[in-house]
Amino acid sequence: MVDIGQASNAASPHELFETGCRFLHERHPGPAALYLERALAFEPDKSSIHEALGQAYYALGEYEKAAAAFTVVVRLYPANDYAHFARSRALLAIGRSLEALAAARLAVAMVSGNDDYHRAVRECLRAVKKVPDAPNR
């Protein structure tokens, strides 16, 4: 059972972030999102908060919000290979397969030895082939 009140006195953005990450790690994405959203209100340009919030949204099945959060991370920190990968997963979940493919390919280009990234590219390619107006690649 998650006790949301246990961290309700967390006042600083760092405490809110840490609490949100703890809930995320404990597989409680709902409370995680609440704390991370509070932290983000204090530090809207902090990529680590956006990344954790994107993970929480993705775990909640809120793929549009997850894609938006990971897009911010990519804008703030373009060299974040995980953010490109995670953005790809969220975009694919909302049917934006061409954009997802581009993001997955960027992740692979950054870290070519990651099997999850390669798997994401293959899944995106399968999805693109199902899209009627998709160009051949």
pLDDT at position 130 is 81
- pTM for this predicted structure: 0.87
- Distance (Å, rounded) from C-alpha 4 to C-alpha 2? 6
In a domain, residue 3? The reply is: no
Summarize the confidence of residues 83-110 as an average pLDDT. 97
Number of structural domains the chain divides into: 2
> Do 48 and 95 belong to one domain?
no
Percentage of the chain exceeding pLDDT 70: 88
pLDDT digits (tens, 9 = 90+) for 29-50: 999 999 999 999 999 999 999 9
* pLDDT above 70 (res 136): no
> Do 61 and 112 belong to one domain?
no
* pLDDT above 60 (res 79): yes
- Under DSSP, the state recorded for 6 is G
> Do 43 and 89 belong to one domain?
no
Residue 48, domain extent = 9-66
Residue 2's SS3 state is coil
